[in-house]
Amino acid sequence: MQQFNFSLRVLFVVMVVSLIGGIIVGFILGWVVWPVQLANVGVADLKLEDQDKWIVSTANSYAYNHDLARAQDRLAQLKDAKIDERIIGLVRKYSEQNETDAADLAALAVALGNTDQEIALIATTPTPTPSLTPTPTDTSTPTIKPSATPTIAPSSTVTPTRTLTPRPRATATPKPAPIAATEWIPAYPAAWPVGVTLVPANVAPGQKYWHLTRALFCDIMENGPDCADLPGGIEGIGVYVTLVGGKAPLLRDGKAATDLEDKSSDPQCKCTYVDFPNGQSISVANYPSDTIRGMALKSVKEPRPQTHVRYFLTFQLVTR
């Protein structure tokens, strides 16, 4: 009987040792000899949900640095022949949900050549910033009850009356004046050439940026009160840019326009820079900047190409 129990114990020990040995051998084979390897995994291999996040991050990046070539390289990694339609779908989805990324996605779509006015309006709609409502100031004045005149009795000590001191009132910190929207002359977009769009700068409260305060379009042979006596004349061509509140280089399609000279001291120009309207985007360097694009030789009055038109832009350095 004892020999039988001993055999069972030996068998049990052998089974346990064999099991442990098998686990160790399997671990070595799976992790050392033949490990699982992932190769050639790119953005296009991600799930659709993660690909959409990649598109949104690309739009956010473009809104910050206006580097269209880099944004196109990132989108090309998805290997999607219908990427433009996909971006438009995300714009509408995020806009319906009031998501803050809708404006960045719309701006990217416009930069890629989309001319839908609905998308352009989404791109030019600034993200609402919540405003803090100051706590109402307590204007009530504490009422001090007159103290009773003490009766002086023989051998009694007069106790002085305590005077109540009003607490100082809290003063609400004044909020900065709101920044006026861009003044469009004539009305935008109805009276402007198709394709002209404005992409607002993506900045946080308290940050300085170049804001397009005024945009004027003078069509061919336009000599109305807004266009009279302006540089170029009624048959002129040009994009006349004026900077207010600072000096900085002009950016053309996101790159420094080194071929433009400062016209600030030229009495005939009445502006800072003059560029040729060939559909390029215009913004200002050194700080984040609103960007206006699509200004070309297009007339609203006459449906023919290469018309003589003028654009007058005013950028001002402001604080969000």
Helix or strand (DSSP H, E) at 23: helix 2-28
- In this prediction, residue 314 carries a pLDDT of 96
Res. 302 pLDDT band, cuts 50 70 90: confident
- Delimit the domains of the chain by residue range: 43-124, 183-319
> What percentage of residues in the chain have a pLDDT greater than 90?
44
Helix spans in 79-162 (H):
83-96, 101-111, 117-124
Q: Check if the beta carbon of residue 187 is closer than 8 Å to that of residue 295.
A: no
- In this prediction, residue 185 carries a pLDDT of 95
Question: Range with the lowest mean pLDDT among 76-90, 106-120, 141-155, 280-294?
Answer: 141-155
Closest CA to 216 of 241, 195, 235: 241
pLDDT at 70 over 80: yes
- In this prediction, residue 285 carries a pLDDT of 94
- In this prediction, residue 32 carries a pLDDT of 65
pLDDT for 149-188, tens place per residue? 545 555 555 555 566 666 656 555 555 557 889 999 999 9
What is the length of the chain? Answer: 320
Res. 129 pLDDT band, cuts 50 70 90: very low
pLDDT at 315 over 70: yes
Q: Check if the beta carbon of residue 211 is closer than 8 Å to that of residue 318.
A: yes
Residue 84 dihedral angles phi and psi, to the nearest 5°: -65, -45
- In this prediction, residue 74 carries a pLDDT of 92
pLDDT at 10 over 90: no
pLDDT at 118 over 90: no
> What average pLDDT does the chain have?
82
Question: Which residue carries 């050639």 as its tokens?
Answer: 40
Question: Which residue carries 């009624």 as its tokens?
Answer: 234
- In this prediction, residue 245 carries a pLDDT of 92
Question: Which residue carries 């305590």 as its tokens?
Answer: 162
> What percentage of residues in the chain have a pLDDT greater than 70?
78
Question: What is the mean predicted confidence (pLDDT) over 204-210?
Answer: 95
The span from the CA of 22 to the CA of 29, in Å, is: 11
- In this prediction, residue 244 carries a pLDDT of 95
pLDDT for 240-270, tens place per residue? 999 999 999 999 999 999 999 999 988 888 8
- In this prediction, residue 203 carries a pLDDT of 94
| Burial grade of 106 (CB within 10 A; 0-12, 13-18, 19 or more) | buried
- In this prediction, residue 16 carries a pLDDT of 80
- Cβ neighbours of residue 205 closer than 8 Å, sequence gap 6 or more: 129, 320
